[in-house]
């Protein structure tokens, strides 16, 4: 399976930011400033995941290169 690029996760983070902020304001009647801060924290999760997966992939490739003669 092909791994999506960083641009995909950036777009996902931006879209997730607006969806979460809008949901917090309209459904839970949270102040817009608090909703923006919470959604900014939550929308960073896809970016953190891409960094973790890229690190694991790099470590796996390094391990394979060390094993080959």
Averaged pLDDT score across all residues of the chain: 85
Q: Residue 20: how many CB atoms within 10 A of its CB? A: 18
Question: What's residue 31's pLDDT?
Answer: 93
Give percent above pLDDT 90 in the chain: 42
Mean pLDDT of 17-39: 92
Question: What's residue 13's pLDDT?
Answer: 80
Q: Please give the Cα distance from 36 to 16 (Å, whole number).
A: 11
**For residue 22, is pLDDT > 60?**
yes
Q: Please give the Cα distance from 22 to 30 (Å, whole number).
A: 10
Instruction: Kindly report the backbone phi and psi dihedral angles of residue 31, in degrees, each rounded to the nearest multiple of 5, phi listed first.
Output: -60, 145
Query: Among 12-16, 20-24, 35-39, 42-46, which is the least confidently predicted range?
Result: 42-46
């Amino acid at each position: 399976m092909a791994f999506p690029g960083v641009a995909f996760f950036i777009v996902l983070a931006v879209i997730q930011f607006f969806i979460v902020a809008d949901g917090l304001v309209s459904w839970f009647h949270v102040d817009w400033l608090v909703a923006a801060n919470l959604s900014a924290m939550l929308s960073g999760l896809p970016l953190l995941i891409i960094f973790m997966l890229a690190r694991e992939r790099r470590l796996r490739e390094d391990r394979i290169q060390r094993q080959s003669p």
